[in-house]
Amino acid sequence: MILTVTLNTALDITYRVPALVPHASHRVDEVTERPGGKGLNVARVLAALGHEAVVTGFVGGPSGEVLRALLAGLGPVDELVPIRGATRRTIAVADAATGDTTQLNEPGPVVSSTEWDAFLTAYGRLLDGADAVALCGSLPPGLPVGAYAQLVRQARTAKVPVLLDTSGEALRRGIAARPDLVKPNADELAQLTGSREPLRAARDARRRGAHTVVASLGAEGLLAASPDGLWQAVPPAAVRGNPTGAGDSAVAGLLSGLVEGLDWPGRLTRAVALSAATVLAPAAGEFDAAAYEKTLGSVRVTEHAHGTERL
């Protein structure tokens, strides 16, 4: 079983309009609602790949009820912890004329110390049956900035491989707890290390505590810096579409490859192929199966000359 943690779940609402014009009223052509949050997206992709996926985190209020109803039947097992506050909503306005999307993200409900303690109890129970765990996304108000560091340490004590995918101070604190893997994008990595050079920044992130760093570089694919080597995996061609959720699919590829015992080139190939196939899908948490199979055989993985250097 692969466990994903989404402390700040969301009900994702998308409005599709013919053209988005500032200061104007709009007639909406289509409205869709989906269960959202990075860890939920990861779990949906894992389930589509045939893995048992369990989601936990916080959920509450009328929006939380809708989220749970939408999640039922999508594959992941729901182990979300109820709270008094209402699950946040994210509003996406998709502009049909330009193909652009404007995103509005609510901050999330305030989580009390009692609710945090209830989550920690549930998390410890779920770790007992987990082969790996992913800690994903932002922290809701009320939680300590070191919340992810605490969860990383708990996973390490349980001897469960742990992946951390967050940003800002939560990433800085979490990486010091020595997670097995962190997966920042280029901007998050630069913010953490102060370097815009991906190789240097990845090495710096490892010095800060991460066992392995896999950096998302957009069209340039993934860069992995681990004790076993240094690799870059690049998709065969740039993919046009909606990039929302592509990084979450990459996390699913890395985790599934880990529990299946794939080597690093194999994990990176899967992660890049899933990421590209998600850009072609209508929403986060989904991927174009035909594009995924086609891309798998075309991902180029290169081992860097200094890949075996111990940091």
Q: Which residues are catalytic?
A: 248
Q: Count Cβ atoms within 10 A of the Cβ of residue 276 and give its class: 0-12 exposed, 13-18 middle, 19 or more buried.
A: buried
Q: Which residues lie across from 214 on neighbouring strands?
A: 224
CA 41 to chain centre: 7
Q: Does residue 256 contact residue 285 with C-beta atoms inside 8 Å? A: no
For residue 292, the surrounding DSSP H or E stretch is helix 289-296
What tokens does 255 get?
């985790």
Q: Which amino acid is at 61?
A: G
Q: Does residue 34 contact residue 70 with C-beta atoms inside 8 Å? A: yes
Q: Which amino acid is at 216?
A: S
Q: Report the distance separating Cα 152 and Cα 268, nearest Å.
A: 23
Rounded to 10 degrees, what is the CA torsion of 139, 145, 150, 151?
10
